[in-house]
Amino acid sequence: MDSLLSLVLLTPLMGMLVLLCLPSANQQAIRLAANIVGLVGFLVSLPLAFRFDANAAGYQFVENIDWIPFLGARYHLGLDGISLLLVMLTTLTGFLAILSSWNAVTDRIKSYYAMLLLLQTGMIGVFLSLDFFLFYVFWEIVLVPMYFLIGVWGGPRKLYAAIKFFLYTLTGSVLMLIAMLVLYFQYHQEFGVYSFGIQELLRISLPAATQQWVFWLLFVGFAIKVPMFPFHTWLPDAHTEAPTAGSVILAAVLLKMGAYGFIRFSLPLLPDAANTALIVQVVVTLSLVGILYGALVSLVQKDWKKLVAYSSVSHLGFCTLGIFSLNPNGLAGSIIQQVNHGISTGMLFLIVGVIYERRHTRDIAEYGGLAHVMPRFATVFAFAMLSSAGLPMLNGFVGEFTILQGAFERNPLWAALGVIGIVLGAAYLLWLFQRTMLGQVTNRKNLGLADLSLREMAIFAPLIVWALWIGIYPKPYFDVLKQPVSQIVERVRPGVYPVPSGVRSVEAATR
């Protein structure tokens, strides 16, 4: 059995343990160690991308051993195209988040880096688990370090934000737990054994009505995490108060856990519910409202970071719109857009972090004319802005267009409303750029600001390269998504689209 996934999963955790053994007084050693662990965590995940076989059906690098026998819970890991992209996103942005903290955090740095690394393992675990129970454990693990990152190293209103984040997410988790148990006991009733295995749970046959309320239970859990309108209000506070690395990880990875939940659990486990007209209408409506609402609210923010936070609501609306278009392009576009959002919004938060480190204010009115003083910084910001606004040949366009094409296929009106979100997206970003970067320098405090350092350039460089890659040559991404996406669509809406050769349906694979 290949244990590559365990290696990827446990590297940050092991690193955390090593880190805890270092003397607290030696800050430089702690910083260095944390960065090395982050880099190693990314490097060990690279073979996943190289060894992944896009044409193979089902999960790869599978590890499956008994964990808690009397519950039927197993340590079951596996990777498909969807989780591959999200794991790579996690390992890269996780490392960059650690790298970005070098000067930003000076207080209790040992615990700080330990929390970041624990978070890393939790998130990777969420994307790798093929056992609902294991998934749930990782899902809850993620909550704890994030709570502390916001609550200890956050801004002025950190306690409010941290508690809000915790309670919101916990509420969702509890509902998700109930849904999980319903499926668990249903499986026992039908097959006489207990199992949390995702592939096993696919075999249960729930009546449509039960599927629907189980769907809503899961929905609240995932929708809070995404977050979808109207469950989004924890996000601006959490993002704004979190330290830069926390915001980056929150935006780049944590939010994707919700969308991943829809794709991995809601659609395949409850296919009849997911394809119900009412459910599709409600979820799509909430997505579209989120797209437009998030964009409009972004437009009037006075706080740089809050603006970026609300833009996430808008961008994630595209992701859920794509998922609930329930067709191959909508789903594939959604997953690519999740990666894109990680790259673009991650960059935007890093940018706020860079300037916050220098000026300790997020008030947009404090800035203006920075492009004169920090030309490199302005160039990177312009790049991130264009990537986020979906300029073709950059990453955002590929995701947005594919999602909208998928939405158009189901209902042209959805696409028409989504396109308005793209227009508004350009508006709030350009206006932010103008107010902060262009014009004359009006505040003498901005005059002496240092441009990006080499370390800071090194943080942005991989994200810029990645954004260009997806924009210019997205084919490999569609290739790895072809198999898993086709399977999910086939399960929810059988027979509408051709299934790629070599793919057996998920049911056949498990029986």
**Taking CB under 8 A as the criterion, which residues in 308-327 touch another protein?**
327
Of 54, 60, 73, nearest to 8 by C-alpha is 60
Residue (188 or 376) nearer to another protein, CB: 376
Pairing verdict, β 60-68 and 73-79: antiparallel
Q: How far is the CB of 277 from another protein (least distance, A)?
A: 17
> Which residue in the set 82, 481, 488, 506 belongs to the binding site for another protein (CB under 8 A)?
481
Q: How far is the CB of 125 from another protein (least distance, A)?
A: 28
Of 356, 351, 370, nearest to 440 by C-alpha is 370
Dist. CA 154–CA 241, nearest whole Å: 5
Q: How far is the CB of 267 from another protein (least distance, A)?
A: 15
Q: Tell me, what DSSP letter sits at residue 505?
A: P
Q: Does residue 299 bind another protein (CB under 8 A)? A: yes
Residue (52 or 168) nearer to another protein, CB: 168
Q: Does residue 288 bind another protein (CB under 8 A)? A: no
Q: How far is the CB of 313 from another protein (least distance, A)?
A: 9
Per CB under 8 A, which region of 25-33, 123-131, 257-265, 291-299 contacts another protein?
Answer: 291-299
Dist. CA 41–CA 38, nearest whole Å: 5
> Which residue in the set 1, 107, 192, 475 belongs to the binding site for another protein (CB under 8 A)?
475
Residue (20 or 382) nearer to another protein, CB: 382
440 CB contacts (<8 Å, ≥6 apart)?
Answer: 368, 369, 372
Q: Does residue 217 bind another protein (CB under 8 A)? A: no
Residue (52 or 187) nearer to another protein, CB: 52
> Structure tokens of 426?
């350009």
Dist. CA 13–CA 8, nearest whole Å: 10
Q: How far is the CB of 30 from another protein (least distance, A)?
A: 28
Look up tokens 């940050």; give the residue: 12
Dist. CA 492–CA 495, nearest whole Å: 10
Q: 384-443: which residues touch another protein (CB under 8 A)?
A: 386, 391-393, 397-398, 401-402, 404-406, 408-409, 412, 415-416, 419-420, 422-424, 426-427, 430-431, 434, 437-443
Q: How far is the CB of 423 from another protein (least distance, A)?
A: 5
Q: 143-162: which residues touch another protein (CB under 8 A)?
A: none
Dist. CA 27–CA 32, nearest whole Å: 9
Residue (110 or 164) nearer to another protein, CB: 164
Q: Does residue 328 bind another protein (CB under 8 A)? A: yes
> Structure tokens of 442?
């009006």
> Which residue in the set 135, 138, 139, 168 belongs to the binding site for another protein (CB under 8 A)?
168
Number of residues that bind another protein (CB under 8 A): 78
Return the SS3 of 216: helix
Q: Cα angle vertex 215, ends 278, 415, to 5°?
A: 45
Residue (7 or 499) nearer to another protein, CB: 499
What is the x/- site pattern for another protein, positions 343-372, by CB under 8 A?
--------------------------x-xx
Q: Does residue 199 bind another protein (CB under 8 A)? A: no
Residue (271 or 484) nearer to another protein, CB: 484
> Which residue in the set 102, 213, 469, 497 belongs to the binding site for another protein (CB under 8 A)?
497
Q: Tell me, what DSSP letter sits at residue 226?
A: T
CB-based burial label for 280 (10 Å; 0-12, 13-18, 19+) = middle
> Structure tokens of 337?
């857009």
Q: How far is the CB of 241 from another protein (least distance, A)?
A: 14
Dist. CA 487–CA 483, nearest whole Å: 6
What is the residue-wise DSSP string for 386-436?
A: HHHTT-TTSHHHHHHHHHHHHHHHH-HHHHHHHHHHHHHHHHHHHHHHHHH
Q: 224-243: which residues touch another protein (CB under 8 A)?
A: 229-230, 232-234
Return the SS3 of 275: coil
43 CB contacts (<8 Å, ≥6 apart)?
Answer: none
Q: Tell me, what DSSP letter sits at residue 439?
A: S
Q: 255-284: which residues touch another protein (CB under 8 A)?
A: none
> Which residue in the set 473, 494, 504, 511 belongs to the binding site for another protein (CB under 8 A)?
473
